[in-house]
Amino acid sequence: MSYESNRGMKGNKPKLSPALMFVIKFLCLFAFIYGFYVLYLAMISPGGKLYSIFFDEHLNFINWLRYVLIESSAAILNILGYETKTNGYQMLVVGHNVVHVGYDCLGFGVMSFFTAFVIGYPGVLKPKLYFWGIGMIVIQLLNLSRFVTLSIYWRPTKNVYISDHHTIFNIIVYIVIAISLYFYTRYQDKVILQSPLSWVKNEN
C-alpha cells in the first residue's frame, strides 16, 4: 500500500506555470538574440580580437541597415526640399545639422526585445510572422522619423529637452510596442481558445 502510494506521488511532479515558462523562454531568447548581435558587432569592428575582414566586407548586415537608414532619411529630406550629403556613418543637412548614426542608433536592442517576445509568446505561427514583420518595419520607420527630426531641429545647447534623443526614442518605441503587444497577446489568446487543435500542433 505505501509503496504504491509513493509511486503515485513521484508521478505528480510540479510543473512550471505558463507565465513563468514564458518569462524564462523570453529571457533566454533575448539573451541569445542580443548576444548574437554583440558578437557579430565584435566580428565587424576593426582592431578587435574577433575581427573578421570577410564578415566586415561581405556579410556586414549592421552596416547595411545603417546605410539604408541614412539614405532613406536623406531621400525623405530631399523630398521635403532640404539639401543633404551622406557617407557611411553620417548625414549632413545643409544649413542645419549633422547626424552621426552610431551602432546604438540602429535599434537592435529594441528589435531584440520585440523579436524575443513574439517568438516566446505561445501562439499560432502565421500571426507571429505577420506581427513580427510589421513590428520591425514600424520600429525602423520610427527610427527614420527620429533622424529626420534631429537633422532639422536638434539643438543640443538650446533644446535640452530633446538632447537625450536615444532615451526619448526608446521610451516612444517601447510605449508603441507595449500597446501593440497588448492587442497581439489578446488576439493570440483568443485564437488558442477557439482552436485548441491548432494550439497543440503549434506547441509540438
What pTM was computed for the model?
0.82
The pLDDT score that the predictor gives to residue 48 is 84
Residues 6+ apart with CB under 8 A from 121: 22, 26, 184, 185, 188
Report, as an integer, the average pLDDT of 14-43.
Answer: 93
Q: How far is CA 171 from the centre of its chain?
A: 13
The pLDDT score that the predictor gives to residue 127 is 92
Residue 42, in any domain of the structure? yes
Residue 4, in any domain of the structure? no
Residue 14, in any domain of the structure? no
The total domain count for the chain is: 1
Q: Report helix angle 165-194 to 196-203, nearest 10.
A: 120
Residues 94, 78: Cα–Cα separation, whole Å: 11
Q: What is the pLDDT of residues 50-98, one digit of tens each?
A: 999 999 999 999 999 999 999 999 999 999 999 999 998 999 999 888 8
Residue 10, in any domain of the structure? no
Residue 8, in any domain of the structure? no
Residue 129, in any domain of the structure? yes
Residue 2, in any domain of the structure? no
Residue 190, in any domain of the structure? yes
Q: What is the pLDDT of residues 149-192, one digit of tens each?
A: 888 887 665 544 445 667 778 888 999 999 999 999 999 999 88
Residues 185, 190: Cα–Cα separation, whole Å: 8
Strand, helix or coil for residue 21: helix
User: Which band of pLDDT confidence, cut at 50, 70 and 90, is reported for residue 13?
Assistant: low
Residue-range definition of the domain harbouring residue 51: 20-203
The per-residue b/e assignment along 184-196, b for 16 or more CB within 10 angstroms, e otherwise, is bbeebeebbeeee
Residues 114, 128: Cα–Cα separation, whole Å: 11
pLDDT beyond 70 at 197: no
